[in-house]
Chains A and B, each alone.
Chain A
Amino acid sequence: MTRELDVKIKRGGDDGGYENFRVPQRENQTVLDVVTWIQREADPTLTYRFACRVGVCGSCAMTVNGRPRWTCRTHVSKVAGDGRLVIEPLENMPVIKDLATDMTGFFEKWQAARGRFEAAISRDDPLVPILPDSPERRAADAAIECINCAVCYSACDVVSWDQDYLGPAALNRAWAALNDVRDGDRAGLLRAVSGDAGCGNCHSHQSCAEHCPVEINPTRSIAGLKRASLVALLKGER
Chain B
Amino acid sequence: MIRPSRNHPGFWAFLLHRLSGLALVLFLPAHFLVLGSAINASAFDAAIAWTDRPLVKFGEWGIVVLLALHMTGGIRLLALEFLPWSEGQKARIAIGIGAALLFGAALALGLV
A-side interface residues toward B, CB under 8 Å? 63, 65-68, 91, 154-155, 157, 203-207, 209-211, 217, 219-220, 223-224, 226-227
Query: Are B4 and A207 closer than 8 Å at their CB atoms?
Result: no
Query: Are A227 and B11 closer than 8 Å at their CB atoms?
Result: no
CB-CB under 8 A from A210, the residues of chain B are 8, 10
Query: Main SS of chain B's interface residues?
Result: helix
Q: A66-B3, A223-B80 are in contact. Are A207 and B85 (CB under 8 A)?
A: no
Chain B: CB-nearest residue to A223: B81
CB-CB under 8 A from A227, the residues of chain B are 81-82
Query: Are B5 and A204 closer than 8 Å at their CB atoms?
Result: no
Q: A204-B77, A206-B8, A210-B10 are in contact. Are A223 and B85 (CB under 8 A)?
A: yes
B14 beta carbon closer than 8 Å to chain A: yes
B-side interface residues toward A, CB under 8 Å? 3-6, 8, 10-11, 14, 77, 80-82, 85, 89
Query: Main SS of chain A's interface residues?
Result: helix
Chain B: CB-nearest residue to A65: B4
Chain A: CB-nearest residue to B4: A66
Chain B: CB-nearest residue to A206: B10
CB-CB under 8 A from A65, the residues of chain B are 4
CB-CB under 8 A from A66, the residues of chain B are 3-5
What is the bound-complex CA distance between A227 and B84, given in angstroms? Answer: 9
